[in-house]
Structure 1
């Protein structure tokens, strides 16, 4: 790998991580604001965390 490849990979992972953080914060806040019952909030949080992790791994390039 050349230095350019390493810098490109590092930049891609850094940007992917920042986008992941934003997606995770938005995904986690939606169930907390949308649902009133604790059970619905918990189910929504679990799904939001799962989706955010999947999106984040795709953006960072781990999948």
Structure 2
């Protein structure tokens, strides 16, 4: 029938979506994909890697503001 390709495409799209949901859920169970609010507040450099990339004072000195007339 003329609707067979439509059903085939819909089935493929549904299967792909279902597989993505399953893989996402299994991955999230093994390795959490989101950080907690506490980790985000502390900073991901410190909470995830145990180090601070740059101190705020160093960062401010590295990029001086342009002088205006």
| Same fold? TM cut 0.5 | no
Whose radius of gyration is greater, 1 or 2?
Answer: 2
Report the TM-score, using the length of structure 2 for normalisation.
Answer: 0.39
Between 1 and 2, higher relative CO (CA 8 Å, sep ≥ 6) is seen in: 1
